[in-house]
Structure formats: structure tokens, C-alpha cells
Structure 1
Amino acid sequence: MPTDSLRVLQYGLGPIGQAVARTVLEKEPLTLVGAVDIDPDKTGRDVADLVGDDVSPTGVHVSDDAETALADGAPDVVLHTTTSFLEGVTEQLLRCVRAGAHVVSSTEELSFPHHWSPDPADRLDRAAQEEGVALVGTGVNPGYAMDTVPLMATAGCTDVQAVHVERVVDAGKRREPLQAKVGAGLSPEAFEEKKEGGPFGHIGLRESLRLVADGLGWSLEGITEELQPVRADELVNTGFRQVAAGQVAGIHHTAVGQVAGESRLSLDLKMYVGADESYDTVTVDGSPPIDLRFQGGIFGDTATVGMLVNAAPLVANASPGLHTMADLPVPRAFATSPAVSA
């Protein structure tokens, strides 16, 4: 892990980006040197004004001009948290790469982009190699709970026949944008309209499926993906929105991969307000069998921030190009302040 400071620019200051910036300020091996957001209510303000009343002024002010901020800050790493879809952020990422910065992005489609978005993935890979920098897409899901963790779970197996992952998330305990993202409060009819209208719900499940398959050397013959609403049984008040009985509480999203004529890889995600419990499970049908359960679940908002920040030194030390989490060393946390020797 890092012994020298990395200069970090935070690109995007929504709820996750603000939490990332605060964490960077708390991590001694990292130095915040810039912040970018196009929201006029944020531009020009000291980052401290956005990330907490207990944070002292940083001298880093939010800019709506990424090119200037990159030039002035000269970051080693950009932590990028703007949107889920690769096509909409390719130019943002290219701008960072061409400024000579490594990039860790929460863009879900960047986590395993070569199959679904080959053109932007190739552009990013070429530019990164030309500039001698690396970039990766990560977060809690995709990036950790349903792909990196299952892959690591197979490390002690001499043979793997199947991998099944289940994730249940009480979205009522998460940030408001995520509650909106899973359709909490919609009528069943509105849910179907949104579903028919294009990408909706969780983004990244198919990327996770392909990342696991690729990591295991499995050739997927096909993917079956389903997205269904979960309806509320009773009134749920999350503090951000009220969901009446019968309305949509969230999503049940599944993806199943066919390998050698069998369904050997499955990801099952339930994300809705009012869930009785949250948990994550990884089941490996192998030798030996593996059965992991994260009681209480992996809290996604915090874990997303953790993955982004903790990936910064890993990507800074990676070979140039576009990577997946399977290409990098085992992800791990690093200390907020230097460890004390005995």
C-alpha cells in the first residue's frame, strides 16, 4: 500500500462523491487537490462546505471546468462519480486520462465494458496506454459484492462447478437517489413503462456476471436476465418518500449465465424499501464447497466509497490501460493515519 501521498481530484460531487471527498481528506496518504461538478449551487465553494460541518476549510474549491481543474491540480488519480452509463462519460474519462491522471470510476458499465461497449472501451484503453496511466470501474456492485468477492471465494477451490450470489438490500436505509433508481413509490404500471423505456433499476448486473465468468475462464453461451417489481405489503416511510401498500417498493433483478449447457452462474439482487433483513451470500459448488454469508449485508453507500478510495493506490501502481477489478491486486483498506510500530 502507498507510502507516498497521492494527489487526488474528485470528479462529481453528488452524495457518493461528497462522501468520497470527505474520506480522501481523512486519509493521510491522499491529498485532495481538486474538485469538479457542474451544479451551479456547488461551483466556487470550498469542498469543506459540502462534505460536513466538522471539516475545516480545505482551500480546494469546486470548479465546473474539468480541463482547468485537471491542469491546475495535476492529480495523480481522479476519483470519478458522475453517472452509470459509459457512453455519457467517455469524454469525461478521456479528459482525465489525457491530463495524465489514473482514474477510478463508479460508472457501472465501466466495470466490464469490452463486451457491451467495445468502442468506448477500446478508445479508453488506447488513450490510457498512450498516456501511461490506468483506469478501472468499481464500487460495491459492480466491483465488489457480486463479482470480486465471489471470485476471491473460489481461490481455495481445486474445482468449481457453479457460483451463485444473492444480495438483499433494504433500499429504505440508502440514499434518496438509489430509492428513486429502484422505482420506490411507483405504480406497477409506471414501473413497466420505465422498464420498457430503456435502462432502469440496477445497472451492472450483467457486467458482474461476465466479470465472474471471465475470471473463472468460463465461456458464457448465453445470459438470461429478468427485472421484476417488488410490491410493498404495507406503508413504508423512508424519510425521503412514502410507499403505499401495493406500490412498487423496489426491484428483483436476476442474471443467469449458461456454461456448457448448464446454468452454472447466477446473480440474484433484491433491492427494495422495507426489506425484513439485508444480507449477501456467495455459494460456490466446488471442491471444497464455499458458503459465505454477510449478515446484515454489505452497506452499499459506505462500501462504494471504500472501494473507490481503496482502489486509488492499486490503480496508480497498475500497468497502463483499462482494467477490471480482476486485473488488480486483492483490494484492501489502508490506514487513515500511519500505523504505530510496537
Structure 2
Amino acid sequence: MVKVLQYGVGSIGSKAVKALVSKPWIEIVGAVDSDEAKKGRDLGMVAGLDRRLDVEVYGSLAEALKHVKADIVLHTTSSWLDLVEPQILEIVENGLSVVSTCEELAYPWRRSPEAAKRIDEAARKNGVVVLGTGVNPGFVLDTMILTLTSVCISIDRIEAWRVVDASKRRLPLQKKIGSGMSVEEFRSAVQRGRMGHVGLRESLDMVADCLGWNFDYVRESLEPVVASKPIETEFFKIKPGQVIGISQSIGGFVGGFEKIKLNLQMYLNAENPRDAVKIEGVPSLEFEVKNGIPGDEATVAIIVNMIPRVLSAEPGLKTMKDLKLPFAWLKAF
């Protein structure tokens, strides 16, 4: 029986709890959340299970570890590594492995090498494993692409697309893509560095490192998608001219040639949602998941399914490319 501590009981954390209780090889021993309204309450009620789990939500990791012992932490708090690093280091220094949904932790070695080194050294020192993963980054625009390349002898170019209908997603994500903003507000938020999908650069870096590609330069773009007609979701009423999401891309160039391009379109009422990959090489491949891989459900699934892989790995900061082949863990562990 694997003893799991859930760190963060927001939207994704709550869905993780529902998945964890469905696994007979997992025991949830406690939870951590800084929200005063959740402290001291039963995790089952906080996570929306409508039943008690007899598991308490604590206000801090230190407090939780005074009362429970765990084997691993599922961490679901923030997308940005600068905010998450202190939390990850505290977990590691208490001798616990961790699987986190922090997008910038999915492959931090190129963009945040100093933070990656600190986390890696701490994990090795304490004999534990740290993994950042999710549906994207963690799967669609990196691990899935790399898996497809395994049947190629040579590769000239890769392009991939993730098109997501954000109207069906949770409120934090709809906010993160700028829903309801004016174009001016959107561009201002981009300048502050807190707008758009987090993790596209991490996906590009992981694919490039695996294939041995070094780029002369990388080109990124982030533009608003603007409503041409009124749109209403559970959370927003959008007028024409307001922002309904993002069109984001990143490309790596060698000698003026774009070797790889990753495209992400995430907006309300998106047309033709899908995940697709096109590889030009020997052989050339085209692959598509119609309607796309569901974001929240897939993120929860992959962080739970990676628990056995993390607990069986050598200590250190790991990425999806470092661990054994991922799959749905439907058996005992």
C-alpha cells in the first residue's frame, strides 16, 4: 500500500483525490492546503466527494508530517517554478518523493538550470525522486511526440498542434488564457509574464535534447484570440472584441530552417479540437487524436500512473524521458 499525501486541494488536486481513492493500492494519509477555509476539514468533503475519508487537510506540510507518514506527495499548486521550488525543496528535505503538476518543473534544465540543480542535488542527498508532469507538458507535445519518433530512422522536421475548447475547462484555466479581457489588458499581462500556456518551452527543450538538436535561435509567439460574437460559459459572458483565449507557438531554427514547431490554440468554443503530430522523415508520420485528450482528466491520470515509476526510480530530479514507459497502472503495486 502506497501512502500518499495530497499537496494542494484546488480543482486539479480535488480531482486527483477522486482518482486516488479509486486505486486499491493507494492510501491517502493527509492533505495540505493554505486556504484557511479548508484547514482542519475532512479531505473527502473539501474535494467534493460528498463523503468523509477521515483524512484531515492541514495548513502546512510541517503540520501534516507531525501527524501522518507518507511515501510520496502529489503536488498540485502552481505552474511557475519560482513559486513552487520552496515547496518542492521542503517536501524533498523531509525525505519524500514528489510528483508535481508544475509545468515549469516538467523540463527545467535549459530555462531554469540553477533551480533544477538545487532540486536535483537535494533529491539525491535525501534519496528521493522529483517529477514534473501532466497532460501538457508531460505528454501531448513532448512524450507523445518522442514516442512516435521511435519508429523513424531519420527526422527532418516536426510540427505538432494542440487545439483545446477551453469553454469546457475549469475557471483557473479560463482565467489563465485571458477570457473576458480586453486586448490591451491581455498584452499587458503578457508583458508581466503571467499570461498564456506555461510549459511550451519545456516541451520544446525536452524533444530537442532527446533528438540531439541544438537551435541557432528559438522564436515564440503569443497572440489573443478575440470573440467575433457573444459567448457564454459557466464562468464568463464574453462580448465581441473581448479575448476568448490564446494562439501560442514556439519554433526551433537551424540555419534558418524551422526544425520543430509546437502550436497551442486554447480558446472558448474552439473549432475542431484535436491533438496532432506531423513528422517529416523516414518514414513520415501523421497522427491525430480527434477532439483532443481531455486536459484535467489526463493530467490527473498521468500523475497517479507515474507514482509506481517514481517510487522505483533512482534518486534525483527526473523528467518523463528519464523514467520507464508510462502506462495506465491498473494492477497492484
TM (norm. structure 2) is: 0.97
C-alpha RMSD of matched pairs (Å)? 1.4
Q: Does 1:210 align with 2:215?
A: no
State the Cα deviation string for residues 82-131 of structure 1 (Å, max 9, x = none): 11111111111011111111111111111111221122211110010011
Matched with 2:82 is: 87
1:145 to 140, 144, 149: 140
Paired with 2:161 and 2:8, the residues of 1 have a C-alpha distance of 30
CA contact (8 A) 1:102 1:133 kept: yes
Give 2:241's aligned residue. 246
User: Do the aligned residues in 1 keep the contact of 2:306 with 2:326 (CA within 8 Å)?
Assistant: yes
Name the counterpart of 1:50: 46
The one-letter code sitting in structure 2 at the alignment partner of 1:199 is R
Measure how far apart 1:70 and its partner are. 3.1
Verify: 1:233 aligned to 2:224, yes or no. no
> Which stretch of structure 1 is more off in the superposition, 215-224 or 67-76?
67-76
Q: Which residue of 1 aligns with 2:104?
A: 109
Matches within 5 A, 1:1-342: 5-54=1-50, 56-335=51-330
CA distance in structure 2 between the partners assigned to 1:260 and 1:197 by the alignment? 31
User: How far apart are the structure 2 equivalents of 1:96 and 1:315?
Assistant: 15
Going from structure 1 to structure 2, the CA distance change for 1:29 and 1:169 (only over 3 Å counts) comes to same
Normalised by the size of structure 1, how large is the TM-score? Answer: 0.94
- Whole-angstrom CA distance in 2 between matches of 1:271 and 1:197: 20
Which amino acid is 2:287 matched to? L
CA distance in 2, matches of 1:155, 1:167: 21
Native 8 Å contact 1:232 1:274 kept in 2: no
1:75 Cα deviation after fit: 1.4
> Shift of residue 32 of structure 1?
0.5
Corresponding letter in the other structure for 2:236: R
Identity of aligned residues (%): 43
SS at structure 1 position matched to 2:67: helix
Shift of 1:200: 1.2
Partners of 2:120 and 2:66 lie apart in 1 by 22
SS at structure 2 position matched to 1:274: coil
| Residue 232 of structure 1: how far off its partner (Å) | 1.1
Structure 2: stretches of 5+ with no match in the other structure: none
SS of match in other structure, 2:190: helix
The secondary structure found in structure 2 opposite 1:203 is coil
Aligned pair count? 333
Deviation at 1:308, TM superposition (A): 1.0
1:33 and 1:338 mapped to 2: Cα distance?
18
Does the Cα contact within 8 Å between 1:254 and 1:266 map onto a contact in 2? yes
What secondary structure is seen at the aligned counterpart in 2 of 1:265? strand
* Structure 1: runs of 5 or more not aligned: none
2:176–2:195 CA contact under 8 A, matched in 1: yes
1:277 to partner: Cα distance:
2.5
